[in-house]
A and B are shown apart, each in its own frame.
Chain A
């Protein structure tokens, strides 16, 4: 008998693993002089400065937090 709750959790994780595996096998070496687009200020792989207050209010108003550079509990009266 399968646990339905476990199944719901399992599917997004499997999907994420498949996508990541697809990306990794597609990797090509990019030389420094070819990184002009990757180095664009809006291509950074993190939250942007202007999102700082958004991330704070989301960590107060939602039960989940973390994995985005925002607060993960602590430092404020939020959960």
Chain B
């Protein structure tokens, strides 16, 4: 953890040193044919949560968890002979988390290997934009690795603006091919000294369609619909379920899941100082989970270069038909889980952030374009609560 923290500080200082000199000024009409730096982002977050409904211990027990997350992305662009803009983005992320409940996979140890882990997730993406035609196509590949989970992802996307440039249609197709290590609770393992865990697959395919529309000089909206199909091992092998007869089992969920989220956004610039950002999502899936989410945030521009953003998010969810609390599932159930993330609950998430983007750059470093800090507190009606603090530094 100390090494990770020092590495992150080192990354920040390296980026500051690299960009502190400022690059050559470019004419806005100039179309560089060579690969040119566009922007870089550093995002760091610290997340902590607590609760008493851990799925690892069958719906009871500590949900205490911390996560220190860091990512860097670098965006470069160039124009080809036909003046199409090519953007390339490389991103690397690293998360380090500790989890009290994961430690209970093998409670006989004082502190098992599973009490903490590091996730590493690089990705590469490319977009080609034809500004004269108003079209863009792109693709991306991603990889994610942690001790018990590996994932390969890829997507392709397309966007087309209307003739008057006030509307845009977008489409995206995405696939993830994941491998889950079958780490069972210690009392349910057939080989007690097993270190080389078997793996099983989980594939996710999604398609999304979107439409964004400028309504007037202050208002724009968007609508997005997705269809997500998952197949394979969709539970987690270390989630315990206790039956009415006190026997313990591994969570068992169907091998397919179809999800349909529909999202709507509207952003409104009121006067010269206020922006109201709203988002609503309606979600259904074939496990019986239905939910509604609404988020409202108001950006208050105290000066043209400094803004404060309080926000509030409300989430309402109905339980999956396969959920029951600790000790309430029976042997006649085909599928069963005591994971409270799939139970019936409401949640509130609220907080505030601020953003500084002075024209001369942060700390007079021309390339350090903006600094943003955001804090949020999250509460579920099941009793779980969490806090998150995030920082974003943008270099241009």
Contact = CB atoms under 8 A, between A and B. Distances in A.
Interface of A: 9, 12-13, 16, 19-20, 23-24, 26-30, 32, 34-35, 37-38, 40-46, 48-54, 56-58, 60-68, 72-77, 79
Contact of B280 (A16, A43, A75): A16
Given A53-B388, A57-B386, A79-B234, A35 B283 contact: no
A8 B309 CA distance: 33
B317 interface: yes
Given A63-B289, A74-B202, A75-B178, A45 B265 contact: yes
A29 B225 contact: no
B293 A23 contact: no
A40 B119 CA distance: 34
A79 to B, nearest CB: 7
B20 interface: no
Contact of A45 (B153, B165, B220, B282): B220
Contacts of A56: 69
Mostly helix, strand, loop or mixed at chain B's interface?
A: strand
A67 B146 CA distance: 26
Given A26-B215, A42-B299, A50 B275 contact: no
Given A29-B164, A50-B353, A74-B230, A64 B67 contact: no
Contacts of B372: 48-50
Interface of B: 41, 43, 45, 47, 49, 67, 69, 71, 119, 121, 142, 144, 146, 148-149, 151, 153, 164-166, 174-176, 178, 180, 202-204, 206, 208, 212-226, 228, 230, 234, 236, 257, 259, 261-267, 269, 275, 277, 279-285, 287, 289-293, 299, 307, 309, 315, 317, 320, 339, 341-342, 347, 349, 353, 355, 357, 370, 372, 374, 376, 378, 380, 384, 386, 388, 390-392, 394
B392 A49 contact: yes
Given A43-B267, A45-B265, A68-B263, A27 B342 contact: no
B317 A37 contact: no
A15 B232 CA distance: 36
Contacts of B226: 66-67, 72
A65 B341 CA distance: 12
A36 to B, nearest CB: 8
B269 A43 contact: yes
A40 B374 CA distance: 19
Contact of A42 (B151, B259, B355): B355
Given A35-B217, A76-B144, A61 B259 contact: no
Given A50-B372, A73-B259, A75-B178, A64 B293 contact: yes
A42 B289 contact: no
A25 to B, nearest CB: 10
Contacts of A65: 259, 261, 283
A66 B307 contact: no
Nearest to A61: B341
A66 B228 contact: yes
Contacts of A54: 45, 349, 376, 388, 390
A56 B221 CA distance: 24
A72 B259 contact: yes
Which 7 pairs from chain A and chain B are nearest by CB? A74-B176, A67-B263, A74-B204, A53-B45, A66-B261, A64-B283, A67-B261
B168 to A, nearest CB: 9
Nearest to B93: A52
A42 to B, nearest CB: 5
A53 B176 contact: no
Q: Specify which of B41, B45, B148 lies most central, judged by the most chain A CB atoms within 10 Å of its CB.
A: B45
Contacts of B380: 61
Contacts of A23: 213, 215, 219, 221, 266
Given A24-B213, A68-B281, A73-B228, 6 more contacts: A23-B219, A37-B218, A37-B269, A63-B341, A63-B342, A76-B149
